[in-house]
Structure 1
Amino acid sequence: MDKNILEVSNVSKEIGGKKILKNITFTCEDYTTLAIRGSNGSGKSTLLKILAGIYEPTSGVVNRGNRKVGYVTEHFPESLRFKLKEYLILTASFQNIPKQQIEEDLIKYIEMFNLQAHVNTPLKKCSKGTKQKVGIIQALMMKPDILLLDEPLTGLDSATQSELFYLLEKLKKQVTIIFTTHEEKMIESLADAIFSVESGEVLHNPQFRTLQKLIKVNFKDQSILRKLNPDQITYEGNTAFITVDTTKSDELLLALLNNNCSILEVKERREV
Structure 2
Amino acid sequence: MTLVEGVRKRYTRVGPWVLDGVDLKVEQGVVTVIVAGNGVGKSTLLRIIAGAALPTAGRITELPQTVGYIPERAPAAMRMTARQYLAHVGRMRGMPPDEVLTRTNELAERLALAPGPDVPIASLSKGNGQKVAVMQAFLKPPDLLVVDEPATGLDAPAKAELARLMSEAEHNGASILLSAHESAVPAGGRMYRLLDGRLVAEAARGMRITLQPTREGLSASALGAEVLLEEPGRVTVRTEDADKLLLTALAGGWSLIEAKP
Per the normalisation by structure 2, the TM-score is 0.69
Say yes or no: does 1:193 pair with 2:182. no
SS of the residue corresponding to residue 143 of structure 1 reads coil
Say yes or no: does 1:120 pair with 2:124. no
What one-letter code is carried by the residue in structure 1 that aligns with 2:30? T
What one-letter code is carried by the residue in structure 2 that aligns with 1:122? P
SS of the residue corresponding to residue 29 of structure 2 reads coil
- The answer as to whether partners of 2:114 and 2:128 remain within 8 angstroms in 1 is no
Going from structure 1 to structure 2, the CA distance change for 1:210 and 1:97 (only over 3 Å counts) comes to: farther
Shift of 1:20: 1.0
SS of the residue corresponding to residue 172 of structure 1 reads helix
Unaligned runs of 5+ in 1: 218-230, 237-241, 247-266
Q: What aligned pairs does 1:137-152 form with structure 2 within 5 A after superposition?
A: 137-152=135-150
Q: What is the distance in 1 between the residues matched to 2:132 and 2:34? A: 22
Q: What is the distance in 2 between the residues matched to 1:195 and 1:47? A: 13
Q: What is the distance in 2 between the residues matched to 1:235 and 1:29? A: 33
Q: What aligned pairs does 1:215-254 form with structure 2 within 5 A after superposition?
A: none
Say yes or no: does 1:12 pair with 2:11. no
- The answer as to whether partners of 1:232 and 1:244 remain within 8 angstroms in 2 is yes
Counterpart pick for 2:128 among 127, 130, 136: 130
Going from structure 1 to structure 2, the CA distance change for 1:80 and 1:207 (only over 3 Å counts) comes to: farther
- The answer as to whether partners of 1:10 and 1:23 remain within 8 angstroms in 2 is yes
Q: What aligned pairs does 1:18-97 form with structure 2 within 5 A after superposition?
A: 18=15, 19-97=17-95
What one-letter code is carried by the residue in structure 2 that aligns with 1:180? S
Shift of 1:216: 5.0
Shift of 1:83: 2.0
- The answer as to whether partners of 1:132 and 1:152 remain within 8 angstroms in 2 is no
Shift of 1:116: 7.4
1:157-184 Cα deviation digits (max 9, x unpaired) = 5564445434433443232221222047
What one-letter code is carried by the residue in structure 2 that aligns with 1:100? D
Correspondence for 2:244: none
- The answer as to whether partners of 1:14 and 1:58 remain within 8 angstroms in 2 is yes
- Higher mean C-alpha displacement, 44-53 vs 89-98: 89-98
Counterpart pick for 1:103 among 81, 86, 101: 101
Shift of 1:206: 6.2
Shift of 1:84: 2.1
Q: What is the distance in 2 between the residues matched to 1:66 and 1:170? A: 18
Q: What is the distance in 2 between the residues matched to 1:232 and 1:7? A: 35
SS of the residue corresponding to residue 61 of structure 1 reads strand
What one-letter code is carried by the residue in structure 2 that aligns with 1:196? R
Shift of 1:140: 1.9
What one-letter code is carried by the residue in structure 2 that aligns with 1:176? S
Correspondence for 2:180: 181
Q: What is the distance in 1 between the residues matched to 2:175 and 2:64? A: 14
Percent identity over the alignment is 26
- The answer as to whether partners of 2:220 and 2:227 remain within 8 angstroms in 1 is no
- The answer as to whether partners of 1:41 and 1:199 remain within 8 angstroms in 2 is no
Shift of 1:14: 2.1
Shift of 1:201: 2.2
Unaligned runs of 5+ in 2: 209-218, 231-236, 242-253
Going from structure 1 to structure 2, the CA distance change for 1:211 and 1:39 (only over 3 Å counts) comes to: closer
Q: What is the distance in 2 between the residues matched to 1:146 and 1:181? A: 18
- Higher mean C-alpha displacement, 39-48 vs 62-71: 62-71
SS of the residue corresponding to residue 39 of structure 1 reads coil
Q: What is the distance in 1 between the residues matched to 2:80 and 2:203? A: 42
What one-letter code is carried by the residue in structure 1 that aligns with 2:18? I
Going from structure 1 to structure 2, the CA distance change for 1:165 and 1:211 (only over 3 Å counts) comes to: farther
Q: What is the distance in 2 between the residues matched to 1:235 and 1:48? A: 34
